[in-house]
Chains A and B, each alone.
Chain A
Amino acid sequence: MLVRFDVPRTLNTLFEDFAVSESAPSTRSFPALDIAEYENETVIVAELPGLKKEDVKITFEEDVLTLSGERKPYEIPQDARVLINENRVRTFNRSIRFGHDVDANRISADLQNGMLKVVVPKAESAKPRTIEVK
């Protein structure tokens, strides 16, 4: 028969947080997005920590760009004791509607350092034009 115990002192005093700012871990929409417009394209940046590119799905349909996917849970050893568990969002789905025509075939995306960057080129009709005065 086996008996198992831990050293209580370490357990009880470890990982007691103290805050450094008023903002608690973010509970806003997930993922957080930046949308930046340029002359010829729109760039969407999404914060996706812990995701691999195969965990993310990007679709464009009827003027709507949709980012969806799932964050896979960590592999935690079976005998582990969880002390802090703040990561609750596992699946996500966010859509952005475009008010102008886009060149859907040239939409590109990459994921680096937990930041997904989607580049949506404008269609010719949506690019700014300079009008010459005759």
Chain B
Amino acid sequence: MENIIIPVADVYETAEEFVLKLDLPGVEKEKINITIQPGRISIKGEVDTTHRDEARLLLREIGLKTYYREFNLGEGIQHQAARAEFEQSVLTVILPKTDAAKAKIISIR
């Protein structure tokens, strides 16, 4: 059976966008799947073993697993403009806000 793990996440927002950061250690960039649709984003990443067949495992805390996590999204996100980066096994997903959802600065005359 597949071992599904929820990856650790950090999320913050600025006036312009939402930023998700997820730890995906051991996942190759090609094995990451990001699906975004109105109201939801899901992120999946598969870990392959790093051990050769003849290994005698004395300690096994890492193991084989699939990372999977979903987030509900509110309105006001430009789905088409979403982008992602992957560095040091941290996946960063940037979700720009629509103009209507951006923080507004109103100057008082």
Contacts and interface: CB of A to CB of B under 8 A. Distances in A.
- Size band of the B side of the interface? 35 or more
B74 A17 contact: no
Interface in A35-59: 35-39, 42-43, 45, 47-52
Interface stretch (A21-29, A60-68, A101-109): A21-29
A13 B108 CA distance: 30
A54 to B, nearest CB: 11
A86 interface: yes
A66 to B, nearest CB: 15
Interface of A: 1-7, 9-21, 23-26, 28-29, 32-39, 42-43, 45, 47-52, 74, 76-77, 79-87, 113-115, 117
15 contacts: A3-B105, A7-B76, A13-B72, A14-B72, A14-B74, A20-B6, A21-B4, A23-B5, A34-B62, A37-B56, A45-B50, A49-B23, A49-B25, A83-B13, A86-B9
Contact of B89 (A39, A84, A114): A114
Contact of B5 (A21, A74, A83): A21
B58 interface: yes
Nearest to A47: B25
B100 A115 contact: no
Interface in B51-65: 51-52, 54-63
B88 interface: yes
B50 A17 contact: no
Interface string B19-34: 1010111111000000
Contacts of B88: 49-52, 114
